[in-house]
Structure 1
Amino acid sequence: MPTHPLPATFMRGGTSNGLLIHRHDLPPNPSDWQMILSSAMGSPDPYSRQLNGMGSGISSTSKVCVVEKSARADADLDYTFVQVGIRDGSLDLAGNCGNMSSAIGPWAFNEGLLEFGGEGRREVSVRVFNTNTNKVILATFEVDGEKGVFEAEGEYGIDGVPGTGSRITLEFLDPAGAKTGKGALPTGRAVDVVKLNDGSSIEVTLSDVANPGVFVRAEDVGVAGDVNPAALEEKAGLMARLEEIRQKGAELMGLDPKTQTIPKIAMISRPTEKDDEGVNVIVRALSMQQPHKAVPLTLALNLGTASRTEGTLPAQVARGVEKGGKSVTVAHPSGKLEVGGVFGEDGAIKSALLHRTARILMKGDVYYSVKE
């Protein structure tokens, strides 16, 4: 198979990393991207290591972002997120990645897709339209207008990433119903009962904010809320049960149960006395049938707003969440994450927001092989 170069940037966004690519460097039809992007990431790989590409064998590092200038009146950039299947090389464009969303504005500025002239270091804001969810994200980050570069250096730190960087604020505007189009609670209920194939039933909350999620109490599936991801992965029976719950939840939300990226499933639990007093809820999430070592960012946003929505399982489990408060602190395997939300007087979710950092790791050509 001939090998071809593709201009790309390898970049960390939040607790994920992946390739950022100009839309014009790929075929016009996304259906023709599969062989190019899967090969670039090192998939398909039956060994799940992606040694032959830029991925590293886990879902949070097998990602691609495709970006271009937007023709929309309400956006500056269009951004398509692609999750690359590690074993099978499939491309999943169903949902967005909140972590990699933090890299879009800074990368686009460095690539000349945005114009912010002027003196010195300062904050700028960019409207990013995510094509996966048809939602706009307002990204605010620091630039050096004279040098024309994103300012990555700073003092802001996030759990799961060593060191510090400049703070990037992401505000997900009107995030409810991001994929289902049916509002924050697609079934119209704060709690649903899912019937499983073995005849048992389990309570879930099905929520669609930023990205759809299925929330289940950890105790209801027989594990501690702070279970280690490695220990969780060893429980084959539980992993299969969680996948069944996820698929049943997807059906109730009107989504394709076979699509792995959405909805994601998360086990939630109430913090105990030994946990930091500032923690409101504990989460253990799965992504692409793998225990996540942190928490998918859009799922954390979803959990944050669900924790402030009356009657949901997250609201029942969460500790010390103020009804009029703007933020919820989520504990995950790598630390803590504070997520915010703004609610209107009618209870509608106006926006969800959080802070990240990002850094360019490498720029040049990534090579891929295709059959000809």
Structure 2
Amino acid sequence: MASFPASFVRGGTSNGLIIDCAALPQDQAEWQPVLSSAMGSPDPYGRQLNGMGSGISSTSKICVISESNRDDADVDYTFVQVGIKGGDLDMAGNCGNMSSAVGPVAWDQGLANGIRKGDEMTVRMFNVNTSKIVHSTFSINAKDSKYEPCGEYSIDGVPGNGSRITLSFQDPAGSKTGKALPTGNTIDTLDFLPDGTKIQASLVDVANPGVFVRAQDLDIPGDITPDILGADSKIMARLEEVRRAGAQLMGLDPNVQSVPKTVLVSKTEGENSEMNIVCRALSMQQPHKAVPLTLALNLGTACKMPGTIPATVAIGVDGKDSVVVAHASGKVEVGSVVKDGNVKSVLLHRTARVLMKGEVFYTLEHSD
């Protein structure tokens, strides 16, 4: 069997492979049979037992990295979402969780320079999917200046503590559509069913495109668990229709599953709650166990955009630099810098750890 070297990593609440681009075919069109097989797809059983994936969208991910030739970046990276049952490669959007591991891995592998301040290193990353710059700041140890994963910072959805990684997404608006509000409206009406059913949605593109709808408008409890949501085939089918209708209005291909993603929003339980807004997110037609980080960034920014559904639902965000988003596994705090109505940057904190390095084997028996 053929193989390639890779790192198996946890980034935030996701895990997957990080691969040096030099280890893959030069022609990106030839990546599909290699990467899908490595992750254990296609798998009609949906478990990916024959590869590195584990049957859910947040663990069927890959980042391909290379030294950057850009003046404003140290490393380039392409995020790849591998379809579990079909084995298709979706490279339409970025992943904030996996992005948190790219800087440390690229630095340790000598693929990226950086700016050092004391015991911290900042690596400038260019995300090929969205053509956006992300600054990754992480701890390094004094002994060998390698990434230091140990620390006291914790994130909901991941047991234990680690060192804090700060991701700052530069000029994040219009990642796929060119505008924060692709339609120019803070709220659009989606007309998505043959019977003429309509629903309001805010279509926002910051870090990654999102379709934000009120959970109550679909008669869905705001605090519904991912398992219960995923088990209701009628609701899931309705949410996919919402996503496709939103994609069309945003000028995106509805057949691309990774963007936009659908996010259900609802109010917190009280004005004294430490949370500002509650969300349930879907990714690749699956309820997310937490929330995709690029969607959390999008949601946090939308909460500060007057007139959007998130802004009308959120509680207690006026005058604050950050928004606390409650998700199915806990909470995440995201910050944004908005000047004169323009989104300059958004940031969040994560942890990451390299779990294993070695050779990943694959077979081309499924290729056409």
TM-score class normalised by the smaller sequence: over 0.9
1:332 aligns with 2:327: yes
Query: Partners of 1:180 and 1:165 in 2: how far apart?
Result: 35
1:143 aligns with 2:137: no
Q: Following TM superposition, where does structure 1 have runs of at least 4 consecutive aligned residues deviating by more than 2 angstroms?
A: 114-119
Deviation of 1:16 after TM superposition, in Å, equals 0.3
Matches within 5 A, 1:1-372: 3-115=1-113, 122-144=119-141, 146-181=143-178, 183-197=179-193, 198-273=195-270, 277-322=273-318, 324-344=319-339, 346-371=340-365
Deviation of 1:146 after TM superposition, in Å, equals 4.0
CA offsets 1:130-178 (integer angstroms, 9 cap, x no match)? 0000000011001125414210000000000000000000000000001
- TM-score (ref. length: structure 1): 0.96
Query: Partners of 1:129 and 1:5 in 2: how far apart?
Result: 27
Amino acid at match of 2:47: R
Amino acid at match of 2:16: G
**In percent, how many aligned pairs have the same letter?**
59
Deviation of 1:248 after TM superposition, in Å, equals 0.5
- TM-score (ref. length: structure 2): 0.97
Query: Partners of 1:348 and 1:189 in 2: how far apart?
Result: 15
Deviation of 1:370 after TM superposition, in Å, equals 1.1
Judge conservation of contact 1:123–1:141 (CA < 8 Å) in 2: yes
Quick check: 148-157 or 81-90, which moved more? 148-157
CA offsets 1:95-114 (integer angstroms, 9 cap, x no match)? 00000000001001111123
Query: Partners of 1:317 and 1:148 in 2: how far apart?
Result: 45
Query: Partners of 1:113 and 1:184 in 2: how far apart?
Result: 32
Judge conservation of contact 2:139–2:147 (CA < 8 Å) in 1: yes
Query: Partners of 1:343 and 1:230 in 2: how far apart?
Result: 36
Matched residue count: 365
Query: Partners of 2:83 and 2:68 in 1: how far apart?
Result: 28
SS at 1:27 equivalent: coil
Structure 1: gaps of 5 or more residues: none
Q: Say if 1:147 and 1:306 are closer, same or farther in 2 by CA, change over 3 A.
A: same
Query: Partners of 2:204 and 2:245 in 1: how far apart?
Result: 14
SS at 1:144 equivalent: coil
CA offsets 1:279-325 (integer angstroms, 9 cap, x no match)? 00000000000000000000000000000100000000001111x32
Q: Say if 1:161 and 1:276 are closer, same or farther in 2 by CA, change over 3 A.
A: farther
CA offsets 1:338-359 (integer angstroms, 9 cap, x no match)? 0000001x11000000000000
Query: Partners of 1:117 and 1:309 in 2: how far apart?
Result: 33
Amino acid at match of 1:133: T
Query: Partners of 1:118 and 1:251 in 2: how far apart?
Result: 44
Query: Partners of 1:229 and 1:117 in 2: how far apart?
Result: 40
Judge conservation of contact 1:117–1:146 (CA < 8 Å) in 2: no
Amino acid at match of 2:310: P
Structure 2: gaps of 5 or more residues: none
SS at 2:213 equivalent: strand
Q: Say if 1:222 and 1:118 are closer, same or farther in 2 by CA, change over 3 A.
A: closer
Query: Partners of 1:69 and 1:257 in 2: how far apart?
Result: 33
Q: Say if 1:52 and 1:327 are closer, same or farther in 2 by CA, change over 3 A.
A: same
Q: Say if 1:187 and 1:105 are closer, same or farther in 2 by CA, change over 3 A.
A: same
